[in-house]
Chain A
Amino acid sequence: MEKFIKHEGIVAPLDRANVDTDQIIPKQFLKRIERTGFGEFAFFDWRYLEDGILNPDFILNDTKYKKASILVSGRNFGSGSSREHAPWALYEMGFKVIIAPSFADIFRNNCMQNGLLTIVLDDEIVDLIMANSTKSIYKLTIDLQKQTIKDSEKFSTTFEIDSFRKECLIEGLDDIDLSFRMEEEISNFESLRAPRW
């Protein structure tokens, strides 16, 4: 996993609540057996018209957001299935940070496993970021160490993150490596239980 310490990038607004995992990566693209190759299919049904032409009405197709790496959206982002293909697709589409008033649990967990930072902010602040990024090219700097978000003008705010997840993101640590260090505890636990079947 890539380390996440500080990130500066352009914000892209997706002003909808309940953006679900079926929208983020429709099921017809879940058949791959690799972790890569999902980026071009992210938001497929919204992003493309018939014949694979880019839908000019879909906001993320606006050239302004071509290099965007921070996505801001409505509440309950990532609801629906457990498919990790959703964070894989978003990451490959270029997003490193997602900001929303709330996220679905499994989705948020999946993002953190892939170095994709999810940030929960109050509705009003999300609205403000949404408005600023809709108007013109809008950049934010996110400092994970300090837990701050700033723009180039006056805007500045802080955000909460679980200290364990923060450490993992900053160090780029893989959960499995960490758990292998607990081998003794796991074996002890197993030795105390009867086999199931």
Chain B
Amino acid sequence: MGLTMFDKIWRDHLVFESSGKPALIYIDLHLVHEVTSPQAFEGLRLQNRKVRRPELTISTVDHNIPTDDTRNDEIKDVIARQQVETLRKNCKDFGVTLYDIDSNAQGIVHVIGPEQGYTQPGMTIVCGDSHTSTHGAFGSLAFGIGTSEVEHVLATQTLRQNKPKTMQIDFVGELPLGVTAKDMILSTIGKIGTAGGTGYVIEYTGNAIRSLSMEGRMTICNMSIEAGARAGMIAPDDTTFKWMKGRKFVPSGESYEDSIKKWREYQSDKDAIFDTKIEINCSELEPYVSWGTNPGQVSKITDSIPYPETFEDPVDQESANRAMDYMGLKPGTNIEDIKIDRAFIGSCTNARLEDLRSAAEIVKGKKISSTVRAQVMPGSTLTKILAEKEGLDSIFIDAGFEWRNSGCSMCLGMNPDILIPGERCASTSNRNFEGRQGKGGRTHLVSPTMAAAAAIAGNFVDVRNWK
């Protein structure tokens, strides 16, 4: 029987295994940020332990830093400042590389890993952050861990894990024009539910996946966690290698060619067996908009908000009722009739250069609605610089968008960028939980083009008819 890509990576990282116990696996890359690491470093200190392989640990500040131009001053929020300063001290004391606020390589941890070339096929990658699944787009096994596990990786460069099950999600058929990777993953979560992937590592396959850019693949793997999965992954191919070439930590010259040979082995064998297989027909997909308070509550743009009684499961009915109550929406309302107050283009799901380009194309030469406040937070400082070189900043600014600095920002509202109660936001991020973007704030998850179009129209519109 053949092996899946996951099986191969698992096999290559197995340090120790004994039946009935979680395996000990080796970790190639450990990403660290300010929010989930302080207690882990503190734990090391208390036990007089070192970081075993500081050179395999990379850190940055992203979650709670300001995105306005005051960010190089002292952070006003005393507790946030303390967290950032704690990370600085920890990195210094333990010899870990830190991409600080003034570095071009600073940014959302899941944007900078690939951008700098740290993320490579066949690797095991962890971070105290659930969206670590993003890195799976390069054919690596990447997943989020808790702070105790962060400490474990720092101390031992290994992790104890039960072997997860594998799921194949096969996208068949062709993706219609104007439908994006974000719509592929939102529709998938709508179909399998937010716990549909629990206990699994998902491998995404199919022609539609092969034709996606790396940015699109990252968007899909990123939201695997919203489907409940531990990790999402996509086999590396020429698109992957081309995207990686020339990046700072990717091998160059002859060793690049050698690496490609090795990387190509990370494919599921033709006769590999997955524990579960799901098929999604791309030709039926449209742009999607979430209407509820979990990422599985989505509708097509041409559709309306469902009647809770149409859900078979009473638990889903109850969740839908509660969600509509929170979101201030009524069943039967056309998605296109929902007006927005804010638009947020950002986050590790959709704030890479290609995302910004696609949104800029929509807003070019137009003005945002007078009732909307719209913001762009590039995924990293480097992304911001590159976007500015292409003039994307002026396209957004001319249209009335605020062009901010990089960070998680309004994706989770730990910094001052938040919604006020009742405000409704078209967001390119990944979570629409109650209060996620600010207490009482109402989040609708969409693609960058859909968010851009909504900012201009003032309500959701079908971007496929955009002129």
Contact = CB atoms under 8 A, between A and B. Distances in A.
Contact of B195 (A27, A28, A75, A163): A75
A143 interface: no
B156 A22 contact: no
A185 B8 CA distance: 20
Interface stretch (B139-147, B344-352, B355-363): B139-147
A31 B433 contact: no
B15 A186 contact: yes
Interface string A172-195: 000110111010011001100000
Interface stretch (B17-25, B276-284, B375-383): B17-25
A76 B130 contact: no
A80 B435 contact: no
A35 interface: yes
B161 to A, nearest CB: 9
A127 to B, nearest CB: 11
A33 B434 contact: no
B64 interface: yes
Most buried by A among B118, B322, B412: B412
Contacts of B24: 179, 182, 185-186
Nearest to B144: A82
A196 B56 contact: yes
B92 interface: no
Contacts of A196: 28-29, 56
Contacts of A186: 15, 24, 26, 156-158
A31 B119 CA distance: 28
Contacts of B42: 33-35
Interface in B136-176: 144-149, 151-152, 155-158, 160, 162, 164
Given A106-B130, A179-B158, A82 B152 contact: no
A185 B17 CA distance: 11
B315 A75 contact: yes
Interface in A106-146: 106, 109-110, 113-114
Contacts of A164: 20-22
Interface in A2-53: 16-18, 20, 22-23, 26-28, 30-35, 45
A164 B80 CA distance: 37
Given A27-B412, A81-B129, A106-B145, A189 B26 contact: yes
Contact of B152 (A17, A102, A106, A179): A179
A76 B194 contact: yes
Contacts, number: 168
A17 B39 contact: no
Contacts of A178: 160
A178 B18 CA distance: 14
A105 B230 contact: yes
Given A30-B414, A76-B228, A185-B24, A84 B160 contact: no
Given A23-B433, A27-B414, A189-B15, A82 B83 contact: no
A64 interface: no
A104 interface: yes
A75 B294 CA distance: 13
B413 interface: yes
Contact of A102 (B149, B195, B230, B436): B195
B129 to A, nearest CB: 6
B269 interface: no
Nearest to B35: A30
Contact of A113 (B21, B146, B198): B146
B436 A109 contact: no
A183 B413 CA distance: 41
B235 to A, nearest CB: 21
B148 A33 contact: no
A83 interface: yes
A31 B83 contact: yes
Contacts of A16: 318-319, 322
B178 interface: no
Contacts of A31: 35, 64, 77, 79-80, 82-83, 414
B86 interface: yes
A34 B79 CA distance: 12
Contacts of A81: 129-130, 144
B249 interface: yes
A109 B319 contact: no
A82 B110 CA distance: 14
Contacts of A179: 24, 152, 155-156, 158, 160
A182 B39 contact: no
A69 interface: no
Contacts of A75: 195, 315
Contact of A105 (B228, B433, B436): B228
Most buried by B among A82, A84, A163, A175: A82
Contacts of A106: 130, 144-146, 230
Contact of B439 (A45, A110, A175, A182): A45
Contacts of B55: 197
A157 B129 CA distance: 35
14 contacts: A16-B318, A20-B431, A22-B433, A23-B434, A31-B80, A76-B198, A82-B129, A83-B35, A102-B198, A104-B198, A105-B199, A106-B146, A164-B20, A189-B15
Given A27-B436, A33-B83, A178-B160, 16 more contacts: A18-B319, A22-B436, A28-B413, A31-B77, A33-B42, A33-B86, A79-B294, A83-B36, A84-B36, A104-B195, A109-B146, A110-B148, A162-B22, A185-B16, A186-B26, A197-B118
The list of the 10 closest CB pairs from A to B, nearest first, reads: A110-B146, A33-B38, A113-B148, A84-B146, A82-B144, A31-B79, A84-B147, A76-B195, A22-B433, A82-B130
